[in-house]
Structure 1
Amino acid sequence: MTEVRLTRKGQATRDRIVAAASELMFERGVAGTSTDDVRAAAGVSTSQIYHYFSDKRTLVLAVIAHQTEAVLTTQEPLLSTLDSLEALRAWRDFLVALQQGYGCRGGCPIGSLGSELADVDDEARQAVATGYTRWETSIRAGLHAMRDRGDLRPDADPDRLALATLTALQGGLLLTQVRRDTVALEAALDSMIDHIGSFAPPR
């Protein structure tokens, strides 16, 4: 896709459309959100939406990118330093508190989009997978740092542990949404952190 250089005002309008679409699709799903819904929520005209997005599918791809940035930016101060068991526990506490603040509603914005779109739009599936890869990479970097520093034994596999941690997180978020409590999320993350800790060398 050719990059279009936008004016500051144009970029602000585009951002407002994407933010409105992201909020609506998070609440109602992609199928439950029409471009008319987005137009009304963003306070723009139909022609403005189609000036920035050729169709709803293009808008959905922008929403995936937006939600990925939002999720990772919210966690960035902790994600960038996940290089100790204490840091992993602080991240766990942050994620649990975040879900409690949301009333355990909505689940994971990236995961919700992936669940709805993965089998119907391969480009959207790949965009969601890219978002997950960025998330996993941050976890992996911290675990590699722990092993390199000697806080984990040489037989620890940071790549596999990072993938398992993200998988546990996603399952915990789904059950948090369904059960309306964070017990499953806490259990999943606590179990993974304990498992990571089991690779600590004897002192």
Structure 2
Amino acid sequence: MSTAADLIRVRGVGGTTLDDVVSTSKVSKSQLYRHFEDKPALVRAVIEYVGDRKIDGERERLENVRTFAGLRRWRDAIVETNALQDGRYGCALGSLANEVADNDWVARLKLNELFDAWIELFRVVLRRFQEERIIPPSVDVEQLAIGFVAAVQGGYLLAQTARDVAPMASAIDMAIAHLELLSRVNEDTLNELLA
């Protein structure tokens, strides 16, 4: 599965054939077809494989984030990881979603579940921030969590096209700056701003 995932990450779904997977993984075509009836089945398995690894990695990185310093360390880690390839391949989940969401409803639903799981990881961090009174309890954690994932995804995309992680860092920095701004306003001021 790792070989197919690597090929698809570098070449894309459209640029990867079953023959490519066979020749690169050194398995026979009959072995491949024993596990996957066709290319969409292989792509769905890659989505599952890549998605589970991505969510597990994010869970591990975010589970101990309890402060802005911790959030910045998380930001630095994902930006540095993306910098290793000059932002070249973007986010594996985002790239897969871009390629298959309109063509394979089963794959789209799985990708949606994975993005929901990623958003939930941010919800947990933000609820923790609320419990610690880092951000006001009345802020909409759901919207903030969606905004964080959108900033990360947008950052990956901009880094991919620029071949430079600076836009990614800026996008995530803006999301963190928004949270820091919320941390400085009291409940009354926040209610006035939201009214």
- Return the TM-score normalized by structure 2: 0.90
> C-alpha separation between the residues in 2 aligned to 1:77 and 1:173?
20
1:69 counterpart = 2:32: no
Question: Residue type of the partner of 1:64?
Answer: I
CA deviation vs aligned residue, 1:112-137 (integer Å, no higher than 9, x gap): 00001111111111111111111111
| 3-state SS of 2:183 partner | coil
CA deviation vs aligned residue, 1:178-200 (integer Å, no higher than 9, x gap): 00111111111111001111222
> C-alpha separation between the residues in 1 aligned to 2:163 and 2:118?
24
1:83 counterpart = 2:66: yes
> C-alpha separation between the residues in 2 aligned to 1:131 and 1:76?
12
Cα distance, 1:83 vs structure 2: 2.8
| Matched-pair contact (CA < 8 Å) for 1:78–1:87 | no
CA deviation vs aligned residue, 1:4-26 (integer Å, no higher than 9, x gap): xxxxxxxxxxxxxx111111111
| Matched-pair contact (CA < 8 Å) for 2:159–2:166 | yes
Cα distance, 1:69 vs structure 2: 2.0
Identity %: 33
Select the residue among 106, 109, 113 that pairs with 2:96.
Answer: 113
Cα distance, 1:202 vs structure 2: 6.1
In structure 1, the gaps of 5 or more residues are 1-17
| Matched-pair contact (CA < 8 Å) for 2:58–2:118 | no
> C-alpha separation between the residues in 1 aligned to 2:73 and 2:23?
40
Q: Which residue of 2 aligns with 1:97?
A: 80
| 3-state SS of 2:134 partner | coil
> C-alpha separation between the residues in 2 aligned to 1:20 and 1:198?
44
Which 10-residue stretch deviates more, 68-77 or 174-183? 68-77
| Matched-pair contact (CA < 8 Å) for 2:86–2:165 | no
Cα distance, 1:139 vs structure 2: 1.0
1:198 counterpart = 2:181: yes
| Matched-pair contact (CA < 8 Å) for 1:153–1:201 | no
Q: Which residue of 2 aligns with 1:11?
A: none
Q: Which residue of 2 aligns with 1:3?
A: none
Which 10-residue stretch deviates more, 152-161 or 90-99? 152-161
> C-alpha separation between the residues in 2 aligned to 1:94 and 1:167?
18
Select the residue among 15, 19, 24 that pairs with 1:41.
Answer: 24
Cα distance, 1:77 vs structure 2: 2.7
- Return the TM-score normalized by structure 1: 0.87
In structure 2, the gaps of 5 or more residues are 187-195
Aligned length: 186
> C-alpha separation between the residues in 2 aligned to 1:23 and 1:202?
45
Q: Which residue of 2 aligns with 1:176?
A: 159
The alignment yields a C-alpha RMSD, in angstroms, of 1.5
> C-alpha separation between the residues in 1 aligned to 2:129 and 2:57?
23
Mapping 1:115-194, distance limit 5 Å: 115-194=98-177
CA change 1:70–1:102 in 2 (3 A) is farther
Cα distance, 1:153 vs structure 2: 0.9
Cα distance, 1:201 vs structure 2: 5.1
